[in-house]
Structure 1
Amino acid sequence: MTDDGKYEAVCSRDARFDGEFFFAVSTTGIYCRPSCPAITPKRKNIRFYPTAAAAQGAGFRACRRCRPDAVPGSAEWNARADVVGRAMRLIGDGVVDREGVAGLAGRLGYSARQVQRQLNAELGAGPLALARAQRGHTARILLQTTGMRAAEIAFAAGFASVRQFNDTIREIYATTPSELRAARPGQTARFGPVGSGDGAAGIPLRLAFRGPYAAAEVFDYLGDRALAGLEEITGERGARTYRRTLRLPSGAGIAEVDEAPGAGGWLECRLHLCDLRDLTCATQRVRRLFDLDADPYAVGERLAADPALAPLVALRPGLRAPGAADPQELAVRAVLGQQVSVAAGRRLGEALLAAYGEPLQTPSGGLTHLFPRVERLAGAALGELGMPAARREAVRAVGAALADGTVLLDPGADRDETEKALLGLRGVGPWTAGYIRMRALADPDVLLTSDAAVRSGMRRAGAEAVDSEAWRPWRSYAMHHFRHAAAGRANDEEHRERNDR
């Protein structure tokens, strides 16, 4: 977009662009999201920035009204496979906080200086500034949703010292931590997390998304594949809660996400963490699982241009492509699900969890285990699963490759190289490698034409002879539309009735 086009989006308070860019007002010294409800400033007083960190680096503070730090992430970072896109995914996962800029650069295969130069040139901020902005957002959440002392919050959010924490809060929000805590939003707040202040029910978050969100389809998809003991869905359709255990860098956790979207465009989430240093990482993994940074407007525009896909897109606006909360877990489960039905794959996963999973210290409802570590699966007999020997060997091969780093599934992994490495493992074919690429690496441009349900949906939609290149870079979403098309006419009528309501 040109700056004039961005200004038009600001004038119309267009929420489609929240997270895609930020604008700052020179006369007030604040920066906002495009949909900020405040009076629109004059064009001559506005500057545009690609990231919140760039606006902060230019000396602007976050707007207290629109909370620009609580926007969805840019869909561009998932679509891009270059070093900037990979770096942004890794920074979001907290790699800079855990491993520093050197660790980030090492994962990307570049020098720290090269990474710094490329991020500064394109985003107006380097890796430290981007991570610092993220730490400030995490600290605000903890200040406003828990009763923790400020010093505890400083280290939980990833700051090296209390002084650094205080300076950052003052710079980003133009207030002290105690004043920011006193400004905790109420239940009617338009943006940002809402909490009781005691943290007894976990850390409550509002996970923002843009555009329509087909929550029922996402919950159906996850529910069909949920492993008892690792995941559960409670409640009635339309008001369900998805719960699962998480293996995080500093300890275990449990995530709970409600199906009913909030009126302001968010999903209610609660995180129960053994170590609060995992808050940023856990939040990003839940966001990837529910595909909350997608741009349904861009996806819909591209796919609806195809006559075969246009009716499917109109039937399910905001359809998402679910990712993975644990990429290594997803890879193992993909191998278990090869050439069997979804139900059979789920049964194998539950048998694996019962035999090799790690029990939670304190079970929570139906959640009792963490998924097995890949190091353990690499040398496991797996006789309890009742699978053919070749399939057991494939599970061990994937576990060993993940354990020794032959296959990398972190958010910044090179997707082409990872797929090539997967295909080099015995027992891993194109469907499995593509499925792992789509979900574990959140690639929005995967089309598994060998999938029986996808082929059936393409036949039903009349898309078999269509050139799928026209659907790039959103072919993963096309594939999900075809899977739903394969479910049959009764399923379509149900969705038409829901859309009418």
Structure 2
Amino acid sequence: MDDDSRYEAVRGRDERFDGVFFTGVLTTGIYCRPSCPAVTPRRHNVRFFPSAAAAQRAGLRACRRCRPDAVPGSAEWNVRADLTGRAMRLIADGIVDREGVEGLARRLGYSVRQIRRQLTAELGAGPVALARVRRAHTARVLLQTTELPVTEIAFAAGFASVRQFNDTIREIHARTPRELRARGRTRSGASAAGTGGVALRLACRGPYATGAVLDFLARRAVPGIEEVTGTPGRRVYRRTLALPYGHGIAEVHESGGTAADGGTTDGAAGGGWLPCRLHLADLRDLTTAVQRIRRLLDLDADPYAVTERLGADPLLGPLVHRRPGLRSPGAADPHELAVRAVLGQQVTVGAARTLAGTLVAAYGKPLPAPDGTLTHLFPEPGSLADAPLTELGMPAARRAALRTLAAALADGALVLDPGADRDEAERTLLALRGIGPWTAGYIRMRALGDPDVFLPGDAGVRHALARLGAGADRAGDWRPWRSYALHHLWHSTEITEPAETAGTHEPENR
């Protein structure tokens, strides 16, 4: 896009571009999301920024009306596999807050100087400034949804000192933390403290097929760590989370809404949102927990771009228009997803779920107290690397494959964190005994959030393509959104349980 086309998006209050760029209004000293409902500023008074951090670096503060700090993340970072894309995914996960810029550089395999130069060139701000934006957003959420003392919120949000926290909040929001808290209660009508946890509204871009996503997760919900309760249209997905500073429980409700439904606690002006509540043992995990749930639910996707490509295809078009906003669910824990993918080899989704539940009961870490049917955290790779796994009743070769995978994850030979090199991870997976193309591709799609994965050997895909009278060679036309095409094909089948794993024959011995 050039600046003229960006201005046309602002004039049209086009929420497709929320999070893609930010609009700085020089006469008022504020920056907004493109869909901000305020009066459109004149063209010569507008400057565009690639990130909120760049706008803040230019001396602008966040708009109080459209809350540009709460936009969905740019879908570009899911698509891109280069240094910038990998760095942005790690920053979103909180790596800079936990490990500093040096930790970010170490994970990416580049020097600190190279990373700063690259991010500043593309986004107008370095990794510290980008992380600072996330800290400020976390602080605002905590101020407006909890009764925690301001001092505790400062450190929970990741600030090094109360003074730094106060200065940042005043700079970004032009209010003191106490004023921001009071304003938030006025907008939302009440504090969320009485109901426990941290209440959020997770913003998403465009239509979101909540029912289809929850169907997908419900069929795979592992006893002990996941559950889906309620009736269609009012379901709640709940799961445990293993986080850097402690454990957590996330609740996501099927019945979301749009900005027209009133004030929000986590902003969705112009777009939609899903209600979420997080119960955290340590509030320092808030940013990481939110980002992991967003990845699981694929909330930063760009459904408009997906529909533009796939909807125009003669074969997929009718499927795409039948299910607008269908997403490609990721993973809350990439290590967990990888283990579950191996458990799913040569069995149905139901059988894989049962095996995973047995694994959780035998090797998972119990919660301090059960919460409904949620009782454990998923086993860490280190606890599985040398485990006998006889409880699973699987063939010896597949148990060996599971231990091999767990050992590679535990010792760092296989990296599946948000900043992982996807190609390198897939090569490493394929080199492990007992891991074949389907398992490696499925892990790449879900654990690493790759939007462009196709599984031609999958039984459900073969069945769907046969019904449509097409072959797997058509998949090349669906780049760079083949993962979404895959989900449309799975949903098109009339199989009661569209098991990706059913009939998929990964080698037990390679």
Contact 2:192–2:198 (CA under 8 A) maintained in structure 1? no
Distance (whole Å) between structure 2 residues aligned to residue 283 and residue 297 of structure 1? 23
Q: Which amino acid aligns with 1:382?
A: L
SS at match of 2:167: helix
Aligned with 1:273 (options 272, 280, 290): 280
Contact 1:14–1:34 (CA under 8 A) maintained in structure 2? yes
2:229 aligned residue? 234
Correspondences of 1:379-458 after superposition (within 5 Å)? 379-458=386-465
2:157 aligned residue? 157
Distance (whole Å) between structure 2 residues aligned to residue 384 and residue 73 of structure 1? 41
How high is the sequence identity, in percent, across the aligned residues? Answer: 69
Distance (whole Å) between structure 1 residues aligned to residue 379 and residue 496 of structure 2? 39
Q: Which amino acid aligns with 2:300?
A: D
Distance (whole Å) between structure 1 residues aligned to residue 329 and residue 444 of structure 2? 12
Tell me the TM-score normalized by structure 1: 0.95
SS at match of 2:20: coil
Q: Which amino acid aligns with 2:201?
A: R
Contact 2:225–2:378 (CA under 8 A) maintained in structure 1? yes
1:132 aligned residue? 132
Distance (whole Å) between structure 2 residues aligned to residue 312 and residue 322 of structure 1? 18
Contact 2:192–2:199 (CA under 8 A) maintained in structure 1? no
Deviation at 1:208?
Answer: 0.3
Tell me the TM-score normalized by structure 2: 0.93
2:264 aligned residue? none
SS at match of 1:284: helix
Deviation at 1:305?
Answer: 2.1
Correspondences of 1:486-501 after superposition (within 5 Å)? 486-487=493-494
SS at match of 1:270: strand
Deviation at 1:252?
Answer: 0.4
C-alpha spacing 1:417/1:455, structure 2 compared with 1 (3 Å): same
Report how many residues are paired.
486
SS at match of 1:183: helix
SS at match of 1:394: helix
Distance (whole Å) between structure 2 residues aligned to residue 50 and residue 125 of structure 1? 9
SS at match of 2:118: helix
C-alpha spacing 1:465/1:139, structure 2 compared with 1 (3 Å): closer
2:82 aligned residue? 82
1:498 aligned residue? none
Distance (whole Å) between structure 2 residues aligned to residue 153 and residue 309 of structure 1? 48
2:323 aligned residue? 316
Q: Deviations over 1:144-177 (max 9, x none)?
A: 0001111101110000001110110011111110
Deviation at 1:468?
Answer: 1.9
C-alpha spacing 1:162/1:382, structure 2 compared with 1 (3 Å): same
Distance (whole Å) between structure 1 residues aligned to residue 66 and residue 229 of structure 2? 33
Q: Which amino acid aligns with 1:279?
A: L
Distance (whole Å) between structure 2 residues aligned to residue 152 and residue 486 of structure 1? 51
Contact 2:465–2:472 (CA under 8 A) maintained in structure 1? no
Deviation at 1:229?
Answer: 1.1
Correspondences of 1:234-313 after superposition (within 5 Å)? 234-264=229-259, 265-313=272-320
C-alpha spacing 1:465/1:326, structure 2 compared with 1 (3 Å): closer
Q: Which amino acid aligns with 1:420?
A: R
Deviation at 1:195?
Answer: 6.2
C-alpha spacing 1:133/1:195, structure 2 compared with 1 (3 Å): farther
Provide the aligned C-alpha RMSD in A: 1.5
SS at match of 1:467: helix
Deviation at 1:304?
Answer: 1.5
Q: Deviations over 1:236-271 (max 9, x none)?
A: 011100000000000000000001121230000000
Distance (whole Å) between structure 2 residues aligned to residue 179 and residue 197 of structure 1? 17
1:494 aligned residue? none
Correspondences of 1:454-493 after superposition (within 5 Å)? 454-464=461-471, 466-487=473-494
Distance (whole Å) between structure 1 residues aligned to residue 194 and residue 104 of structure 2? 32
Aligned with 2:371 (options 364, 369, 379): 364
1:495 aligned residue? none
Deviation at 1:459?
Answer: 1.7
Contact 1:461–1:482 (CA under 8 A) maintained in structure 2? no
1:355 aligned residue? 362
1:497 aligned residue? none
1:174 aligned residue? 174
Contact 2:349–2:497 (CA under 8 A) maintained in structure 1? no
Correspondences of 1:184-199 after superposition (within 5 Å)? 184-185=184-185, 196-198=191-193
2:201 aligned residue? 206
Distance (whole Å) between structure 1 residues aligned to residue 5 and residue 302 of structure 2? 18
Aligned with 2:384 (options 370, 377, 395): 377
2:506 aligned residue? none
